[in-house]
Amino acid sequence: MKKFNCPSCGAEAEFSSNFSVYAVCKYCSSMIVRHDLDVESIGTMAALPEDMSPLQIGTEGYYQGQHFSLVGRMKMGWEDGSWNEWFMATDDGRKGWLAEAQGFYAICFETEAPPLDFAVKAIKQQKQDVSFIGSAHRLNNQKLNVVDSKKASCLGSEGELPLLARQGRLVVSVDLLGAYGEFASVEIETGKLRAYVGRYVDWKEMRCSNIRTFDGW
């Protein structure tokens, strides 16, 4: 864990993951970027829209026997709704994400990005070239089929993250599924492709603790 002082308010800002390069100060909402030995503020993050997620920063759980804790969140929006991307600090040191949408959960880890033509086809699909949906691809030696491709933007972020998650950040998000519950997500940003492979998980399977509570639940 590395600790710095927020450039705006002076409060302590923690980076618990070695992958984290960006954080939102929990006291003044400043967006903090970490360099080798110092940090800088690049503005202020607006308050995140409320939702009914049982997860929060500090929630802990297990995936395939490995303990994890949630240290950051990006809330992503598209024309028909939104979803959460929770950044995980894992005991085995991998760069993991827990995606949460409408009560479904998927855990995945960063892997080698697909070839550039994948991005070209995904972007064409946004122009009504529907041939991309259903197409087969191999990621991390797994055969997967594209089930969804959409434009999305970052509605806000909190905690610490391995990438700069400014409000309004635009991406094309592509979801893929395998025959046995495998899940993958490819995020296409200007000049960058990021790929993540894992699988869908049940709520009980994660054995989460330190979750949010709601009146009446």
Tokens 């992958």 belong to 19
Judged on CB neighbours under 10 Å (0-12, 13-18, 19+), 93 is exposed
Percent of the chain clearing pLDDT 90 (strictly above): 44
- Asked whether residue 25 carries a pLDDT value surpassing 70, the answer given is yes
β-partners of residue 192 are 189
Query: 2-44 adopts what CATH topology?
Result: Rubrerythrin, domain 2 (2.20.28)
Q: What is residue 128's predicted lDDT score, i.e. its pLDDT?
A: 60
Q: Which of 12-16, 98-102, 177-181 has the lowest mean pLDDT?
A: 12-16
Quote the tokens at residue 158. Answer: 């909190």
Q: What is residue 48's predicted lDDT score, i.e. its pLDDT?
A: 83
pLDDT in tens, 78-137: 998 999 999 999 998 888 999 999 899 999 999 888 776 777 777 766 666 667 888 888
Mean of the per-residue pLDDT values of the chain: 88
When pLDDT is averaged across residues 32-42 and rounded to a whole number, the result is: 83
CB 194 within 8 A of CB 186: yes
Tell whether pTM > 0.85: yes
Residue 72 pLDDT class (50, 70, 90 cuts): very high
